[in-house]
Structures are given as C-alpha cells and as structure tokens.
C-alpha cells in the first residue's frame, strides 16, 4: 500500500514539475493541476491510511478506538478538492482569455504588462507605461 502510494505521488509530482517547466501557458496550467492532485493525495494519506476501523466514538467512550481511521484528512481533502476544482475552472478561463487576446501561448514572450523597453530599444531606460 505504502509503496503504491509513494510511486503514485512521486510520479504525479514529477509529471507536474515537467509540465510546469514548459513555456506553453496551457501546459503550465495542466502542470499546476497535476501537482494539485499530488498535494491532495499527500493530504488524504497523511492520516492513517489502511485502517478499516470506522472513526466512530462508541456511546460509552470519550475517544476513538486505537488504530481507527482518522476522519480529519477526509474532511480536509474534500475542501481542498472543491477549492482546487474551482481554481482549475478559473485557470482554464484565464488561459482561454489569454489565448484570445494573444497571438501565441509562449509565456516567456508575454510582455504587455511589463514591456522590456519603450524608448526606441534603449535597455537602460525603463519603458513608459501608458495608462489611458
């Protein structure tokens, strides 16, 4: 169980980092999503994975039976999945907007919020940002 988890999580992390290092905006977003899945898995299995005892406190006891599954990570990961899902929707819309406004998806050539130079190519003079 632990080996499978380890291989899955590390595989997802390496795939995510690989995609994250890409210059393509869409792949970058996909990389973040894959990394997010890996983070969720870490969160999910941070409790006591593998326990088959339900996390229910018996009527005459005041704490969980020893070795019972921890209910907290499930609640946490559910929240994290919901947040991650909405962030993914937002990121996809943002990328769509980006692709509509730009002629390319190469993130290293996005300079309209930070122009490199505005004064006839003089690198020693910062550009003048037009503001309406």
Partner 1 sequence: MLIIAPFLVPLLTALLSYFVKKRYVAVVNIVGGLLFLVAAMLLLSRVLSEGPQSIAMGNWPWHVAIAFIADPMSAMLVLLIALVANASIIFQLNWYEKKHQATLYPLVQGLIASSVALSLSADLFNLYVWFELMLMSVLGLILLGGGRQHTEAAFKYFSISMLGTLLMLTAIGLIQGATGHLNFSALREIAQQPDMSEPLTLFSGLLFAALLLKLGAFPLFSWIPAAYHTLSAPLLALVGGLLTKISVYVMLRLSGQILDGSALHLAIGWLAVITMISGVLGAAYHWDLRRILAFHIISQVGFMLLGIALASPAGDTGTVVFLFHNILVKANLFLIAGLAWWSLGHYDLRRIGGLFKANPWLSAAFLISAMSLVGVPPSSGFWGKFLLLQETFVQKHYIWGGLALLTGLLTLYSMSKIWLECFWKPLPANNVVKPIPWPLMTTILMMTAVIILFGLFPEPLISTLQTHADFWRIK
**Which residue ranges make up the site for partner 1 (CB under 8 A)?**
20, 25, 28-29, 32, 35-36, 38-40, 42-47, 70, 72-73, 76, 79-80, 83, 87, 90-91, 94-95, 97-98, 101-102, 107, 110, 112-114, 126, 128-129, 131
User: From CA 43, how far away is CA 36, in angstroms rounded?
Assistant: 10
Nearer to partner 1, 60 or 100 (CB): 100
Q: How far is the CB of 65 from partner 1 (least distance, A)?
A: 15
Q: How far is the CB of 52 from partner 1 (least distance, A)?
A: 19
Nearer to partner 1, 67 or 97 (CB): 97
Tokens of 81: 């999945």
**Strand-pair partners of 24:** 106
Tokens of 31: 């990389």
Nearer to partner 1, 15 or 35 (CB): 35
Q: Let me know: does 48 contact 81? Beta carbons within 8 Å.
A: no
**In terms of Cα–Cα distance, which of 19, 2, 20, 26 is closest to 98?**
26
Q: How far is the CB of 61 from partner 1 (least distance, A)?
A: 15
Nearer to partner 1, 54 or 125 (CB): 125
Query: What are the DSSP calls for 84-125, one per residue?
Result: HHHHHHHHHHHHHHHHHHSS--BGGG--SSS-S--STT-TTS
């Amino acid at each position: 169980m632990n080996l499978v988890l380890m291989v899955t999580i590390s595989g997802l992390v390496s795939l995510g980092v690989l995609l994250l290092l890409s210059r393509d905006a869409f792949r970058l977003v996909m990389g973040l999503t894959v990394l997010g899945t890996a983070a969720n898995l870490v969160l999910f299995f941070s409790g006591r994975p593998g326990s088959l005892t339900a996390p229910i406190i018996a009527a005459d006891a005041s704490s969980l039976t020893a070795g019972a599954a921890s209910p907290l990570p499930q609640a946490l990961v559910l929240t994290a999945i919901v947040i991650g899902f909405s962030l993914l929707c937002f990121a996809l819309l943002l990328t769509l907007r980006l692709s509509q406004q730009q002629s390319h998806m190469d993130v290293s050539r996005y300079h309209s919020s930070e122009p490199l130079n505005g004064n006839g190519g003089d690198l020693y003079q910062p550009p003048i940002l037009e503001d309406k």
